[in-house]
Structure 1
């Protein structure tokens, strides 16, 4: 079994091959085609796609009305042009509003792929690959922007146009990490257990852990940044791989007994594993929190439709709630 440090170093060694594979795989192949390409490049690990998230973008560059590129970095271009005019935004608009210039955006989707490497719930590799497509966005200087931020990324419809693709989408490697190694670093940073760590512990002790691997149903969105003292700060959040398709919770507030049991059973069956209702209560909010109290009250009243280990898991959460 590799140590967290060894896994981190191994992920660094994998990176060049992953970058090459992403670059060589057309986005038209889809996530299944990407998984096949990864299996050929890294046959020792069977990465499989579990989640794709879109709806985000990054600022791109500057193009003219014919699509010719004028700058690769919109923010750097705007800052330099403004500085050349002593910070006079009005003068900048007067001099550069014509001929038409357009901002571009990199419209993206993040594909999460996982590969188990051991028996632990956090013992898996998580690969994040971005699918990016550059599009022509808003016309610069339309709507009289009042600040540099408003110029490069207006929050209203000023200057908006129908986005026009400037090229085909492509895959770009973002990162690969061993989730257990990241969480070990998180534990070293904070003496108290983070929500994601408590969730993993609860997964292991409950019926969910006995039925399925954590990475079959969840990915871990990680973040690392420097604080004002230039010290690294880590955070992690669990994301359900079926968050957008969480089954409905079919019990009104105040339900208990057979009605509540039926709602929990239906939810778990639709999600595909026991105790799904509890873990969605922690994360997606698809299940209301009153259900946890009602489950424990039913158990205390002698109506025990959950195994004792699951009742204990829910009761402990009620005594010390957390979200993940």
Structure 2
């Protein structure tokens, strides 16, 4: 079911799917500008850590047997009473080839300006089909895959007749989603508040360990600072707005992309979240072995990170992400600022102090 914040339509999906893949996505950006509401769309970043997935089944001479490998293999298993060996015996000498798709994911953004979350994020798959191996091994001396492995396309690659990878056709675009981030954050924040309010009112029995006396209290009463906790995703954009990054005119949607999640648990509680993904292209090393550094050297390394990224206070948001900058390093900077050893802009100090009081991250 399409979510309230997902602006994907059949028309938009068709526009994306029928646009040829070109250098720097020039044709796709032109299509966004001339055929959609996202006239200001800009390319942000590409993620290419995704594995191949099975696509089609071909004969040895390239004729299509099945357009959907998984549907075909399910039908084969059903026709052979679920027996992998029976499926293998039926097709092992046919020379069928398995085509696969190598995907990369491109992010584009249509920034509407104003609030930092006022943008549409467009995620577009680029998929290249290729073939490099036969579907079934010619013999079973090393064993056969189980049914789940067969469905996933893992049919014993080391044992299958292989050839050089051969691409099939040109790469193609496919729309993954088009997310109105302002709607996403509004819905997510409201859901978080509602759930936290309900949890806060949950009644518990507190027992005095010394006297054995009991009293009924709410979770809110038992948890210091309960009402200060806010949805991290909302805080990310608010911190950006209040910090040197936002005050310098930097737009979060051009510096980060957002891997969103929307899950409703069995008790009908809805959870929305995202993980920010940096969009920098320059190589930036993780800050390691900083425990032995003095405060000035540590802060200098954080400032160097800002310079490499090209924006002020970038290190704070990388610290929220947690891979390149660690929370302990952020704590040391705050302590140094409070001791007067380094000078932070007041607005950045306040952002860092609020984070220290109620930490969050991704």
TM-score by length of 1: 0.86
Alignment match, 2:146: 147
Out of 39, 42, 47, the residue aligned to residue 48 of structure 1 is 42
Aligned pairs (5 A) from 1:138-217: 138-142=133-137, 144-151=143-150, 152-154=152-154, 157-158=157-158, 159=160, 161=162, 162-191=164-193, 193-211=230-248, 212-217=250-255
Give the 3 Å change call, closer, same or farther, for CA 213–73 of structure 1 in structure 2.
same
What secondary structure sits across from 1:168 in the alignment? strand
Distance in 2 (CA, whole Å) between partners of 1:243 and 1:268 is 14
> Using a 3 Å threshold, how does the CA distance of structure 1 residues 243 and 222 change in structure 2: closer, same or farther?
farther
Whether 1:33 aligns to 2:20 is no
Provide the secondary structure at the position in 2 that maps to 1:190: helix
User: Which residue number in structure 1 is paired with residue 222 of structure 2?
Assistant: none
Q: Quote the offset at 1:286 in angstroms.
A: 1.2
Aligned residue among 97, 105, 109 for 1:114: 109
TM-score normalized with structure 2 length: 0.78
Gaps of at least 5 residues in structure 2 are 197-229
Closer/same/farther in 2, CA of residues 316 and 128 from structure 1, 3 Å limit: same
Partners of 1:47 and 1:263 lie apart in 2 by: 34
Q: 1:113 to 1:284 in 2, by over 3 A?
A: farther
| SS of corresponding position for 1:224 | strand
Q: Between 220-229 and 92-101, report the one with greater CA deviation.
A: 220-229
Aligned Cα root-mean-square deviation (Å): 2.7
SS at match of 2:48: strand
CA distance in 1: counterparts of 2:68 and 2:312, whole angstroms: 49
Unaligned runs of at least 5 residues, structure 1: none
SS in 2 for 1:26: coil
C-alpha distance in 2, partners of 1:137/1:294? 53
C-alpha displacement of 1:199: 1.5
| Residues 233 and 273, structure 2, Cα contact 8 Å, conserved in 1 | no
Cα deviation, residue 76, structure 1:
1.4
> 1:251, 1:259 within 8 Å by CA — same for their partners in 2?
no
After superposition, residues 148-297 of structure 1 pair within 5 angstroms as 148-151=147-150, 152-154=152-154, 157-158=157-158, 159=160, 161=162, 162-191=164-193, 193-211=230-248, 212-225=250-263, 227-228=265-266, 233-242=271-280, 245-246=283-284, 249=287, 252-283=290-321, 285-297=323-335
1:46–1:285 distance in 2 versus 1, CA, 3 Å: same
Count of aligned positions? 316
- What displacement does 1:227 show? 4.5
Contact 1:250 1:263 in 2 (8 A): no
